[in-house]
Amino acid sequence: MNAIKKVLKNPYKLICWGVCRIPILYKKMSDESYLKLQYRSVFGRKLNLDNPKYFNEKLQWLKLYDRKPEYTKMVDKYEAKKYVADLIGEEYIIPTLGVWDKFEDIDFDDLPDQFVLKTTHDSGGVVICEDKSKFDMESAKRKLSRSLKNNFYYQGREWPYKDVKPRIIAEQFVKDNLSQGLHDYKFFCFHGKVKMILVCSERFSSCGLKEDFYDVDWKHLGLKRPLHGNSKNPAQKPASLNLMVEIAETLSKNIPFVRVDLYQINDSVYFGEITFFPASGFEGFEPDSWEKVMGDWIELP
C-alpha cells in the first residue's frame, strides 16, 4: 500500500521503472533526458541544470559537464592504483595479485589461500575468498562473468565508467585484527578539502550495513541516508585520521567533488577507491536540509 501511495504521489517513479525495463529505450536516451527522469522519480522535483542548488542535483550537473579524461583512470580499480601510487606512494596500495580479461583465465593455483576478486569497471563486482579449500568457484564465476558484461555507465550515466575496460583483478586479502570488523572511511572532498567523513561498519553483520557521518574534528553529525541507519556503537576516532585526511585532500585536489575511500588496517592506511557520484547522486539525506548544506560546498563554474 505504501508503494502505491508513493507512485501516486510521484508518477515519475512508475515511468522511470518502465523505461529502465526496456534496455534499448533507456540506452538510447540522452544522458540529460535520462538524468532528468531519474532525478525526478527519486526526489520528486525537477532537475534544475541551469541553476542547481542541492548536492545530488549538482552531482548530476557534474556528470554532464565535468568530463576530464583522467577521471576514467581514477575509477578503474586497476589503473587507479598506478595513478594513486604516483601521488601518495606505493605503501598505501593493496597489492594486486593478478589481472585477467575473463574468469576462465585465472590460475587459482597461483593465488594464495585468501584473496579478493574484483571487476575493474563497476560497483559491487566483488568476491571474497577467506579459505580457498571452501571457495565456491561456480558462484564466483557467475557473479564476475555477469559483471563483466555490464557497462556500469548506463545505470546512472556516470561518464567516467563508460570507457573503463572490464577486467578482473585479484587483491591481497587484508583484515583488521584489532577491531570488530573492518571500518570503511569515505572522505567527502569539496574542491580539495575534506568536509565530511562517512564511516561504514557492520557490513557483514546480521543487522546490515550501518553508516555514520562525522566532521573532520570527529563530531558525529545528525544525518543519515534513508537505506542505512546509524550504528549503535559509534566508531572511535581512527589513530591515522590526520594522515587519511591529508591523503584524501591530495587525491581530490582541483576537483569540485569526489569521495576518497580509505582503510585503516591495524597500523597501516590503504587506498580503497575513488567515487565521483556516491549512490550515483540518487540517494538523499535525512534531514533533507543537508542536501542544501552540501550543495553549497560545491562551487560550479
For residue 276, what pLDDT is reported?
Answer: 98
Q: What is the pLDDT of residue 87?
A: 97
pLDDT at 28 (0 to 100): 87
Q: How much of the chain exceeds pLDDT 70, in percent?
A: 88
Average pLDDT for the chain? 90
For residue 3, pLDDT beyond 60: no
* Model confidence at 181: pLDDT above 70: no
Residue 204 has pLDDT above 60, yes or no: no
Q: Could you report the per-residue pLDDT of 271-292, keeping only the tens digit for each?
A: 999 999 999 999 999 999 999 9
Give the span between the Cα atoms of 137 and 103, in whole angstroms.
10
Rounded mean pLDDT, 241-267:
96
The reported pLDDT for the residue numbered 102 is 96
Tens digits of residue pLDDT in 91-107: 999 999 999 999 999 99
User: Is the distance from CB of 199 to CB of 221 less than 8 angstroms?
Assistant: no
Residue 35 has pLDDT above 60, yes or no: yes
Out of 39-48, 76-85, 224-233, 284-293, pick the least confident.
Answer: 224-233
Q: What is the pLDDT of residue 109?
A: 95
Residue 11 has pLDDT above 70, yes or no: no
Q: Above 70 in pLDDT, residue 147?
A: yes
pLDDT for res 76 = 97
Residue 141 binned pLDDT confidence (cut-offs 50, 70, 90): very high
Average pLDDT over residues 249-253: 98
Please give the model's pTM, rounded to 2 decimal places: 0.90
Residue with cell 515511468: 15
What percent of the chain shows pLDDT beyond 90? 75
The pLDDT value given to residue 5 = 53
Per-residue pLDDT at 178: 52
Check residue 10 and give its pLDDT: 66
